[in-house]
Structure 1
Amino acid sequence: MSKHLLITGGAGFIGSNFIEYMLKNSAYSITNIDALTYAGQIDNMMTFKKYPNYRFMHCDIGNRDSLIKAFDRNYEFIINFAAESHVDRSIENAQPFVDTNVSGTLNLLYALLDGKAKKMIQISTDEVYGSLRSDDLPFTENSPLTPNNPYSASKASADLLVRSFYQTYKLPLIITRCSNNYGPRQHNEKFIPKVITNALNEQKIPLYGDGKNIRDWLFVEDHCRAIRMVLEHGEPGEIYNIGGGHERTNQEVITFILDYLNKSHTLIQFVEDRKGHDRRYAINWGKIHKELGWMPQVTFREGLIRTIEWYKNNNGQQKR
């Protein structure tokens, strides 16, 4: 008999890629729940319907009355991808980020406490660690939480709730923190999709500040492999950093995309820097490599070309 997974936020970018990966590479039965906000795309799930071990339920983890209908069976694992994750939107209005990222996580923890699942993985972000200087060593699992915007503060809050439920109730909980993901099906408000779609449509590409902000890029397929390893071999109470090992400035990323598409660099438009804009992220993934044997397999060049080609083949845009 196959084991049942509850995937939250499976209509979003990382969640839908993980479901696709698991449906193709495992025998797990999957229940996918999503509130289908702006970040959740029905198109992301269209190919899943052909799998008999998959089902979708429309519900909001931030609403306990809505969430309860998903627990018509007991799950082996809850994997919580559901999150508001757009920093600019969190600066404009933090309330939805608290509702989903904090209250929603708490609702899932209560479900675990009630015996509705055996284990839970909280999918978090390196942004909870704050910003690095150019000469700082990459973040480790022991780095302090110093979030600098409402989005990362809401994710750090959720992580602390998860830790508290592990310490207080001894629940089998694991946290993963990933670096910046990229790949197919990402919402076009995100950095790389926006650059690609604007370039394809000959539109100006906004570049914050001096363009020297650095991110550590992780191809989403590599992230999915890491989560599966944590699911099957990770230890309760642990935190696992998942990084790509590909640090690039924002300007370097834009330049690569423009050159690959044979577009003019004059499309770059420098704009006023964003409030609370972290200067650099870099993540040390030595722990997950040493303990679980994971390491990224997709080079940044390969992953970015695959991503660009996906957007070219999907009319240069991610549908809303």
Structure 2
Amino acid sequence: MKYLVLGSNSFSGGSFINYLLDNEEDAKIFAISRSAEYHDSLLAYKNNPKQNRVKFFQLDINNDSQNISDLIFDNKIDYIINFAAQGMVAQSWDAPLEWFNTNTLSLVALLDKIYKFSFIKKFVQVSTPEVYGSCNNIKESMALLPSSPYAASKASADLILYSYFKTHGFPINYTRASNVYGAYQQLYRIIPKTILMIKKNQKLQLHGGGKAVRSFIHIDDVCKATLKIAKEAKSGEIYHLSDTKTISIYDLVNLICNKLGKNILEQIELVQERTSEDNLYLMNNEKLLREFNLTPHVKLSDGIDDVVRWMELNYEDLKNFPDHYIHKA
């Protein structure tokens, strides 16, 4: 099978490629990102002995939709997984048009070129629970109530995709995952950043006192579910990838501090809550369990240990990389 991964430099995209290499012996993988391939300490598949099965193309979904379409057509790609996105909630207020260009309009441009390709078996859109706004026990059938340009741009992308499915039969699925984490994650995300700040002996800024409640799911569980959905799910369906267990950000940071032998009160600085951040979104994952008998297997404590090992192994490189979000226009 031939897989095309859009956003291959992203944490989730690179980890999904790594999962394919380990679990799909016949997979031929085409990786696309607008930046050159990241350093191997930041990209999971670059450390896989089977990485020669990956062909990387530096293409920008905003500007190179024709080249991407040609690549899909020429290689008769079976599965497309779209991880490409402008992320970040608060920052999306600073330049909302750029978020819509990447997350919505560029997708429309690509869809317009590929929706008639009958050889495509599935297009999986990696969406976000942010499209629902702040709520509890979110089910896949709930209304979209986005509260930021980021969330609105992702909701818009989901809707345009559905119109191509409904009108033209374009085979799509959506995944909406709770807070994904694991080795190789961006250093500004809460779990790797907490570990990094402790190792640097610097204080971590804890927004809103860390009161926000989240559920976390390990990237290995996300990759397994994503592949299962791509290959077996009925087109048009949405799936939540989430754990039923929850934890406040404060308790999460405290857990990491305890693992590293530190007192949380000496490691944090309390700061104001972020703009448009939803304090609560807890997702119902019964549909994934019911249809595919899939539940998360990696416990949060074990997953954090995995991140600690990655960071310790690569610390001399990682300490020199930015530990804050840098916007790329």
TM over 0.5: yes
C-alpha displacement at 1:47, in angstroms? 3.0
Partner of 1:216: 215
Mapped to 1, the partners of 2:49 and 2:56 lie a distance apart of 9
Partner of 2:20: 22
C-alpha displacement at 1:110, in angstroms? 2.3
Offset from partner CA, 1:271-290 (integer Å, 9 cap, x none): 01111110112111110111
Offset from partner CA, 1:106-148 (integer Å, 9 cap, x none): 233224313173321101111111112xxx4x11101111111
Cα pair distance change 1:269/1:81, threshold 3 Å: same
C-alpha displacement at 1:42, in angstroms? 4.1
Partner of 1:199: 198
Mapped to 2, the partners of 1:119 and 1:47 lie a distance apart of 28
Q: Are 1:70 and 2:71 counterparts?
A: yes
| 8 Å Cα contact 2:81/2:123 also seen in 1 | yes
C-alpha displacement at 1:306, in angstroms? 1.1
C-alpha displacement at 1:260, in angstroms? 0.9
Q: Are 1:110 and 2:112 counterparts?
A: yes
Offset from partner CA, 1:148-194 (integer Å, 9 cap, x none): 12211111111111111111212111111111100011111222222
Cα pair distance change 1:47/1:313, threshold 3 Å: closer
Q: Are 1:98 and 2:95 counterparts?
A: no
Partner of 1:314: 314
| 8 Å Cα contact 2:6/2:83 also seen in 1 | yes
SS in 1 for 2:16: helix
| 8 Å Cα contact 2:90/2:148 also seen in 1 | no
Offset from partner CA, 1:200-226 (integer Å, 9 cap, x none): 111110111132101110101100000
Mapped to 1, the partners of 2:49 and 2:258 lie a distance apart of 38
TM-score, structure 1 as length reference = 0.92
Mapped to 2, the partners of 1:145 and 1:131 lie a distance apart of 11
Matches within 5 A, 1:194-273: 194-265=193-264, 266-273=266-273
Partner of 1:11: 9
Which one-letter code corresponds to 1:163 in the other structure? Y
Partner of 1:294: 294
Which one-letter code corresponds to 2:115 in the other structure? L
| 8 Å Cα contact 1:140/1:284 also seen in 2 | yes
Gaps of 5+ in 2: 323-329
| 8 Å Cα contact 2:66/2:113 also seen in 1 | no
| 8 Å Cα contact 1:12/1:41 also seen in 2 | no
Mapped to 2, the partners of 1:165 and 1:18 lie a distance apart of 25
Mapped to 1, the partners of 2:50 and 2:221 lie a distance apart of 24
SS in 2 for 1:297: coil
SS in 2 for 1:232: helix
Q: Are 1:141 and 2:140 counterparts?
A: yes
| 8 Å Cα contact 1:48/1:54 also seen in 2 | no
For the aligned residues, what is the CA RMSD? Answer: 1.9
SS in 2 for 1:75: coil
Matches within 5 A, 1:122-161: 122-132=125-135, 136=136, 138-161=137-160
Mapped to 2, the partners of 1:218 and 1:178 lie a distance apart of 8
TM-score, structure 2 as length reference = 0.89
Which one-letter code corresponds to 1:302 in the other structure? D
Q: Which of 38, 41, 45 matches 2:38? A: 41
Q: Which of 113, 119, 143 matches 2:122? A: 119
Which one-letter code corresponds to 1:21 in the other structure? Y
Offset from partner CA, 1:246-278 (integer Å, 9 cap, x none): 311110111111111112322210001111110
Partner of 2:279: 279
Partner of 2:86: 84
Mapped to 2, the partners of 1:229 and 1:246 lie a distance apart of 22
Moved more, 56-65 or 274-283: 56-65
Which one-letter code corresponds to 2:191 in the other structure? I
Which one-letter code corresponds to 2:35 in the other structure? L
Offset from partner CA, 1:3-60 (integer Å, 9 cap, x none): 11111011110011110011011121110101128xx734315335844432111101
SS in 1 for 2:31: strand
Mapped to 2, the partners of 1:163 and 1:267 lie a distance apart of 45
Offset from partner CA, 1:63-87 (integer Å, 9 cap, x none): 2245345333111111101111122
Moved more, 186-195 or 310-319: 310-319
Gaps of 5+ in 1: none
Mapped to 2, the partners of 1:281 and 1:57 lie a distance apart of 36
Moved more, 225-234 or 185-194: 185-194
Moved over 4 A (4+): none
| 8 Å Cα contact 2:138/2:282 also seen in 1 | yes
